[in-house]
Copies of this chain bind each other. A is one copy, B any other.
Amino acid sequence: MITTVTLNPAIDKTYRIRELKCGRIHRVQQVTEAPGGKGINVAKVLHRLGQQVVATGLIGGYNGQRICHLLDEMHINHDFCRVSGESRLCLNMIDDQGVGTEVLEPGPAISPAEWKRMKDKCADLAKQSSFVVFSGSLPLGLDQSAYQQLVHLVQQSGAKAVLDTSGAAFRAALDACPFMVKPNLDEVRQILGANMLTREEIGQVIQEWHQHGVEWIAVSLGAEGAIVSRRDAGAWLAIPPQIEAVNPVGSGDSFVAGFVAGLAEHRSLEECIQWAVACGAANALEERAGEIVPDRIREFNPQVKLVRLSIT
């Protein structure tokens, strides 16, 4: 079993409106809804790939109930911790020109008692899981050590922790030595406080994290693919097939899902990387994050090019 953890899930609402104008009243022509948040996107893709998956995290209120209902409709297992606040809405208002304007609610603040229950649930689920995937930012009320605490718990139970977050929460969690991390290039830049990075500098960061104990490191490069490195095995540049992207939101989450599915199936290192990149590309062809078509992955998989790097 694979567990995905989303500490601040959302209802992703998409509104189609003619034109957004400040100070005006707009009547929405079309409303669509999906359960959202990065970890839930990972769960959606894992489910499509045929993996046994459970989505957990913190949900609250009527929006929380609705998130569960939407996951039920997709036949995705879930086991969330209930909190007293109301889960957030993330709105994307798309006009007739295809321009999207996003408005994101902050979500509920988490109390110490709620956090304690989340840790207990995470420890329980980890005991039944081969991998536990942590994705996205922290909700209000949690300090920056939150992922560090969860990664530590999970690795103690024998499951492998995969981490996809950013900033101080990411830096703190590195101390707990997650099995795999997947920052994107911007996140690496933020962590180093650098505007630009050479391939050598990325290599140094990767080396440093490996020395710290991280087994797998994937630095995603958007449409250019990813640099993926395994401790004691070296690094690869994975180049995706050229596609006309429809919506790249969720491609990083799809990459993580593809990778973890490959690891769970004990595929070779090269296969895992190819599968991950194919999932990211397939996601970019869909309007909705995480709703990939498995046939597309099989089509893209052999088209992913792997180039051995000497950066590590």
What residues make up the interface of A, taking CB atoms closer than 8 Å to B? 15, 17, 20-29, 31, 61-63, 65-66, 69, 89, 91, 93, 95, 99-106
Contact = CB atoms under 8 A, between A and B. Distances in A.
B100 A23 contact: yes
A31 B25 CA distance: 19
B27 A106 contact: yes
A104 B22 contact: no
A80 to B, nearest CB: 15
Contacts of A105: 15, 28, 31
12 contacts: A15-B103, A20-B101, A23-B100, A24-B102, A26-B102, A28-B104, A28-B106, A31-B105, A62-B63, A62-B65, A62-B69, A93-B103
Contacts of A91: 91, 103
Q: Which of A29, A66, A69 has the most CB of B within 10 A?
A: A66
A62 B27 CA distance: 21
Contacts of A69: 62
A101 B66 CA distance: 26
Q: Which of A15, A28, A100, A105 has the most CB of B within 10 A?
A: A28
A28 B25 CA distance: 19
Contacts of A31: 105-106
A23 B93 CA distance: 9
Q: Which of A61, A62, A93, A104 has the most CB of B within 10 A?
A: A62
B27 A104 contact: yes
A35 to B, nearest CB: 13
Contacts of A27: 104, 106
Nearest to A30: B106
Given A24-B102, A27-B106, 19 more contacts: A15-B103, A20-B20, A20-B101, A23-B99, A23-B100, A24-B101, A25-B104, A26-B101, A26-B102, A26-B103, A28-B105, A31-B105, A31-B106, A62-B62, A62-B63, A62-B65, A89-B89, A91-B91, A91-B103
Contacts of A23: 99-101
Nearest to A101: B22
A275 to B, nearest CB: 30
